[in-house]
Copies of this chain bind each other. A is one copy, B any other.
Amino acid sequence: MIEPSVSLYGQGLQRVTDHLGALLQKSHSLYAMLIDRKGFVLAHRESLWAPRPPSLDSIATLVAGNFATTAALARMLGETKFTELVHQGEKTGLYLEEVDDRTLLLVVFDQSTPIGRVKLFVKKAVADVGNVLRESPADKSETDAFDFGDDFTKSADALLDDLFKE
């Protein structure tokens, strides 16, 4: 099973959610999300005045996929990757910035706020959220899932020994 590449819970989650709330208020945006590159929503906030939010999980999945496909384009232009993405529609805009190697900060805003304002406060939020993530204990790494630990190995060995004992 695919799991989020960062586990955010308890105090860490609360602090990130608070930063997202402050970002929404200052930038006058609709929705803010911290997602990982696999498309999992790690934390999210909606403005009180925002309309009923669309499926945040689906948005996160599409955005993460889209971000991954732009990597090929970046390499063609001599960049290792793009660190900021803006999608602007008639009324709604979407702004994405990289927090660290595993996570992205995503903001949805409407025409009531200029993109410059959104960018400014996202940059601040990226720094704040980045600090929380660095301080958070024990991030799940890809290999953790396959590391069963010494205890498991020993008890499995003992079980096998038992099975094949005469």
Contact = CB atoms under 8 A, between A and B. Distances in A.
Interface of A: 54-55, 58-59, 62-63, 65-66, 69-70, 72-74, 76-92, 94, 108
Nearest to A115: B86
Contacts of A90: 79-80, 83
24 contacts: A54-B77, A54-B78, A55-B76, A58-B76, A59-B76, A62-B69, A62-B76, A63-B73, A66-B69, A66-B70, A73-B87, A74-B89, A74-B92, A77-B92, A77-B94, A77-B108, A79-B92, A81-B89, A82-B87, A82-B88, A83-B89, A84-B87, A85-B86, A85-B88
Contact of A87 (B85, B94, B108): B85
A92 B78 contact: yes
How would you classify the secondary structure of chain A's contact residues: helix, strand, loop or mixed?
Answer: mixed
A60 B69 CA distance: 14
Contacts of A108: 77
B62 A72 contact: yes
A60 to B, nearest CB: 10
A91 B63 CA distance: 22
